[in-house]
Amino acid sequence: MTEDPRDLEPQYALPLVIHVEKAAPPRRTDALEAAARAVLVFLTDPRVTEPDGEWHDRVQAWTDGRIRKVVRRARGAGWRRAAELPGVTLTHGTAEVRVYPPVPVDDWPADLSRLQVSGTDLEDPETPLDPPNGSPVLYLNPHLSMSAGKAMAQAGHAAQIAWLEGGTKIRSEWQGSGFALAVRTASPGQWKVLEDADLPSVQDAGFTEVDPGSLTVIADVRGLRG
């Protein structure tokens, strides 16, 4: 098997932390949408986009390898410590997510490395409403079971890929809306149609929870084209 050239580069991960208090956990869909929007806000921050921006080189090193994202959860003092580290926080509905500049996969800041990865299992108390007409929608594969943390990372991947593949008009309109988007699980029939539509999609490397090569999310941004 030919080695992927991305694996020859130093590997970085983009840390995301979701604020989860025991008494008031966020809704699952809010958490997924917050993660996707937070990734886009981070990628368009001048500290990333400007050649002399303080995060520019780290993001470049990260994207030269695999675009790994790792979601951890925090509450109480852990969240307060995490919030003091450089990054970008986004609040969406009941969810609050903070994104940090990429870090080497084996060298995380102590205040992030001690946070839990597993067990990020969130629920929606009721079925989410249909997405607004024209809004970009990130569709989850209905044939896969993913924890909320895994699904958040995959939604972030899908948003990033859709952004990178989008033209000037799509990017301008999307950013102008504050990166409005929805995350929904597709029906089996809907998923088959989406697979045939040549849309931005995420094929997972299989490090956690799903088999390598699994198609996890398809991003439908066609509403931004018309």
Tell me the pLDDT tens digit for each residue of 50-94. Answer: 999 999 999 999 999 888 999 999 999 999 999 999 999 999 999
Q: At a CB cut-off of 8 Å and minimum separation 6, what does 185 contact? A: 139, 140, 141, 142
Model pTM score = 0.94
Q: What are phi and psi of 218, to 5 degrees?
A: -120, 130
Q: Are 170 and 219 contacting, i.e. CB atoms less than 8 angstroms apart?
A: no
Tell me the pLDDT tens digit for each residue of 140-162. Answer: 999 999 999 999 999 999 999 99
Distance from C-alpha of 207 to C-alpha of 66, rounded to nearest angstrom: 11
Distance from C-alpha of 132 to C-alpha of 137, rounded to nearest angstrom: 9
Q: What are phi and psi of 121, to 5 degrees?
A: -110, 105
Q: Are 93 and 37 contacting, i.e. CB atoms less than 8 angstroms apart?
A: no
Alpha helices in the chain (DSSP H): 28-43, 46-49, 56-64, 76-83, 110-113, 148-165, 168-176, 188-195
Distance from C-alpha of 165 to C-alpha of 200, rounded to nearest angstrom: 7
Q: Is the pLDDT assigned to residue 2 strictly greater than 80? A: no
**The residue type at 120:** T
What is the mean predicted confidence (pLDDT) over 127-140? 92
Tell me the pLDDT tens digit for each residue of 6-38. Answer: 666 678 999 999 999 999 999 999 999 999 999
- pLDDT-derived band of residue 199, with 50, 70 and 90 as boundaries? very high
